[in-house]
Amino acid sequence: MTELDIKIGCNNLEERYVFNKVARQASGSVLYHCGDAVLLAAVAIDPDPVDDEFLPLTVQYIEKAYAAAKIPGGFVKRESKLGDFETLTSRIVDRSLRPLFPKGFYYPVVITITVLSSDPKVDMQVAALHAANAALYTSNIPVTQSIAAVRMGKLNGEIRTNLNFEEQDDSTLNLLVVGSGSDVLMIEMCVNASDTAEEHLVNELEEEELLAVLDQAGEAISRASQEYDEAFKLAQKEEVALEIAPEKSDETLYNFIAAHYQEQVEQAVQSMAKSERSSALSKIHAQIIIDLEAQGHQDVDAELVSKMLGMFKKSIVRSLILDKNIRADGRALNEVRPIDIETNILPSVHGSCLFTRGQTQALVTATLGDSKDSQVYEMIHSKTPFYETFMVHYNFPGFSVGEAKRQGAPGRRELGHGNLAKRGLEPTLHLDRDATVRLVSEILESNGSSSMATVCGGSLALRAAEVQTDKLVAGVAMGLVTEGERYAVLTDIMGLEDHDGDMDFKITGTADGVTALQMDIKLGGLDREILKAALYQAKEARLHILEIMEEALLNMNPSRALPRSVEFAIEAGSIPTIIGKGGSTIRDIIEKYGVSIDIDRDANTVKITGSSKENVEAAKVYIDTLTSSSRKPMSYEINKQYRGKIKKIMEFGMFIEMPDGYDALLHISKVSKERIERLDDLYKVDDPIDVIVLDQKGKKVELCTPNYLF
């Protein structure tokens, strides 16, 4: 085989594909170059098909430490299990390439993408998609379509195609679209928050702008996939002789089921729970076999009966929707299932929410920590580690769908759903510099879109834990059923509608726009008008869910388990006094009051955190005493007016922070000539206030207000 070196420049990418140079015993391989990044993609096929009717495709994206001139950390100095980024990238490649295989292809295929050299500017997910596509398209496997991926970004209000990895940090939009020709196969999108001097911007995308960006992405994909098709033909191997399994079908058996069991099947598909529906269909399956044998049929193929029953069940589900606008549970096409919300139901948890939507239920908890609790992780493009301070972990136990199986380590699906929920929630989040938040979603019951229940429950759990967020975020899963020119968009799909429908479209957002979405299309592509209808129908559902979530906040009880913290400024010269010789003073404070203390030398601030509000306050008073005794008090002029700030309001008066940082007491009797019952009816903490110094004896300062004297 002759070595082929193909260069392609398209959509702001300069790529080089080298064929027939390495891994030549694989079914297909390519050495992919983009900048300094080099990836090896290799495809291997098992010539023995599996017995079941499914495509056993395995995709593994692997980053080698040597690719970044690093030695793996940890005790064992070699690469072990895949990290989260590698797993999520593998999942993206799988979802993009799986639709390209022909129906009836049941041969095990393994696609391995290995990063041999890294480049901090290269988008490794786009690189992995293009490398895998080139290896698969030129292999001896009968795949006749080429895909292309584009990453759409938004810099300074301008939509850009394929920003490099460094530029993506400044982009307010992260939209990955994969397609072939004019067909879009997969979409993943999230927005990135930004901060101005005045406010924190969530940067949600409105539906019309999202459609415009998707149009631009579609044009870029069409150009690129056409170029790949033409360029890679030169490197295509001769297809291996593989038998494509014909679809098991028996028209006579199908018609028999349709003629005699339509009513029973319609009743079965309208069973609410997956377990109930499965049980009802199993009984119908058994009855069909009994009836066929009673009519003299010998050796009835139970597997074929199951196949035809499944096909008929699917046709019933789709027919009810398209012909009668009836869904299995009786809802309207745009109707969300009933929602029930309970918050802070776990007394020892910082924040919790039990979110129930129909037969899908998520228990989401929020746990607060500091910078030491962050998740340390590495990226191949960086020599230094990164710290994840907002985590969303999603768990899907078997009992949630009535299955008896043990719960093991999270798989690709769990990681993907958790990542989607995180991307939907994160833009609205405000975290202190040293704060860490972990959300955990335990799926207790599932019948459609538990990931979107995680988003809704997660947004409320954050509020229940008193984490500052700009807006509530809700998520909804949309479905689609098409036949010829007819179509129906379904809101808040159940598992049955997901299985028998043509699209899985999950979308999250605030009342002002979309924060994240994920879409996989089972059709060859998706018409723009259908996508527009789905987006606006999803918006209607999102606003409905958000309204219910807002009502739940009104009835939310505060958590008794929340840690208490206070942060205040100190003079730089007071820091050694707080720490003490060899750290003795700060250790004594921590042990005495049961708190943690963080000192920021750059900002000259102290943050005290503890489980008891009283202990936190006591520790602060102690530190105030330490620092004030080390300073020379300001000498105030008697009868002179000063501008202070209300620091604390008590029944007997208010503590006023004076210009030099000292606290002075303003007694309630010297606030006004008239009697005052409650100071907190008239004043608020942190309000500025004018005071007059009546007397000073050392550090003791006596104050009154101008109203008291005049």
Report the topology of domain 641-709.
OB fold (Dihydrolipoamide Acetyltransferase, E2P) (2.40.50)
How confident is the model over 375-411, as pLDDT tens digits? 988 888 777 888 999 999 999 999 988 888 888 888 8
pTM of the model: 0.81
DSSP H helices in 607-649:
613-629
CA separation for the pair 430, 186 (Å, rounded):
30
Q: What is the band of 593 on the pLDDT scale with cuts at 50, 70, 90?
A: confident
The hierarchical CATH code for the domain 4-235 is 3.30.230.70
What mean pLDDT value characterizes the chain? 89
Residue 632 has pLDDT above 60, yes or no: no
Please tell me the predicted confidence (pLDDT) of residue 203. Answer: 93
Please tell me the predicted confidence (pLDDT) of residue 629. Answer: 58
Residues with Cβ within 8 Å of 457's Cβ and at least 6 positions away in sequence, in order, are 353, 354, 355, 362, 363, 364, 441
- Please indicate whether residue 572 or residue 9 has the higher confidence score (pLDDT): 9
Helix axis angle, 528-554 to 207-232, nearest 10°? 140
Please tell me the predicted confidence (pLDDT) of residue 273. Answer: 64
Mean pLDDT in residue range 450-462: 96
Three-state helix/strand/coil letters over 360-404: EEEEEEEEEEEHHHCEEECCCCCCCCEEECEEEEEECCHHHHCCC
Please tell me the predicted confidence (pLDDT) of residue 577. Answer: 86
The hierarchical CATH code for the domain 251-324 is 1.10.10.400
How confident is the model over 312-364, as pLDDT tens digits? 988 888 888 998 888 888 889 999 999 999 999 999 999 999 999 999 999 99
Please tell me the predicted confidence (pLDDT) of residue 23. Answer: 94
Assign domain 564-629 to its CATH superfamily: K Homology domain, type 1 (3.30.1370.10)
Computed from CA positions of residues 450, 451, 456, 462, in that sequence, does the dihedral angle turn out positive or negative? positive
How confident is the model over 163-186, as pLDDT tens digits? 988 888 889 999 999 999 888 889
Judge if 4-235 and 564-629 fold alike in CATH terms: no
Residue 539 has pLDDT above 60, yes or no: yes
- Please indicate whether residue 609 or residue 111 has the higher confidence score (pLDDT): 111
Q: Which residues of 637-672 are buried (b: 16+ CB within 10 A; e: fewer)?
A: eeeeebebebeebeeebbbbbbeebbbbbbebebbe
Query: How many Cβ atoms from other residues are within 10 Å of residue 320's Cβ?
Result: 17
Domain segments of the chain: what residues?
A: 4-235, 251-324, 339-554, 564-629, 641-709
Q: What is the band of 416 on the pLDDT scale with cuts at 50, 70, 90?
A: very high
Please tell me the predicted confidence (pLDDT) of residue 251. Answer: 86
Please tell me the predicted confidence (pLDDT) of residue 274. Answer: 66
Report the topology of domain 339-554.
Ribosomal Protein S5; domain 2 (3.30.230)
Decide if 559 contacts 351 (C-beta within 8 A).
yes
